[in-house]
A and B are shown apart, each in its own frame.
Chain A
Amino acid sequence: KQEVTQIPAALSVPEGENLVLNCSFTDSAIYNLQWFRQDPGKGLTSLLLIQSSQREQTSGRLNASLDKSSGRSTLYIAASQPGDSATYLCAVRPREGGSEKLVFGKGTKLTVNP
């Protein structure tokens, strides 16, 4: 059974700092991994999608890496801003079951202080 873990559960940093969020998963048989952002009481906003054959994806100040063999992904946020404060969720798409099912971690709650 695929399990996804995100560490730390919460992180508080001063504005301008570069930071890394970690995600690990137990089964390397995945189609892809997707990072999301969730603001309080809101839905999920897709940040980056990394296919299983890729090593990393970049979008603006965000860079996500994937090491499928070790079951790890990181989300790097450069020059953090207060507007980056949110919960960041990592999700994998298992090959087992063959559908659009995602398995999520519990998230990392990020607070960027001005």
Chain B
Amino acid sequence: KAGVTQTPRYLIKTRGQQVTLSCSPISGHRSVSWYQQTPGQGLQFLFEYFSETQRNKGNFPGRFSGRQFSNSRSEMNVSTLELGDSALYLCASSLGTKMGTGELFFGEGSRLTVL
């Protein structure tokens, strides 16, 4: 059974550009969550999608957005990149059907460097 797949694994952008990251959840999982990991702030919740609807959102500016497709794959977008957006972006999937009780499984992450 394939795990959570994130693409691309590494990318370098310059300030002001935008970036789109992709996440394919484990087959059968309908919930996809996104997290940002930095050395200073640790892991912080960005947002969660279930059945193409955003169910929860963390405390990030509107430059961070996401969406989920009918096959549960998800994308997140960061517009007008800033140096502080450099981070490891992690995607997690879970069944999501029985609220809050399922195990979350994470992908390998997308390492974004903003120059």
Docked Cα-Cα span, A51 to B103, in Å, equals 10
A100 to B42, Cβ gap below 8 A?
no
Interface centre among A43, A45, A106 (most CB of B within 10 A): A43
Query: With an 8 A cutoff between CB atoms, is A68 at the interface?
Result: no
Q: Is A32 among interface residues, defined by CB-CB distance under 8 A?
A: yes
Contact-size category for A:
20 to 34
A42 adjacent to B108 (CB under 8 Å): yes
- Enumerate chain B residues within 8 angstroms of A95, measured Cβ to Cβ: 100
In the bound complex, do residue A32 and residue B101 qualify as a contact, i.e. CB atoms below 8 Å apart?
yes
- Residues of B near A99 (CB, < 8 A) are 31, 33, 48, 50, 55-56, 99-100
| 7 contacts across the A-B interface (CB closer than 8 A) | A32-B101, A36-B106, A42-B108, A51-B101, A98-B56, A104-B44, A106-B42
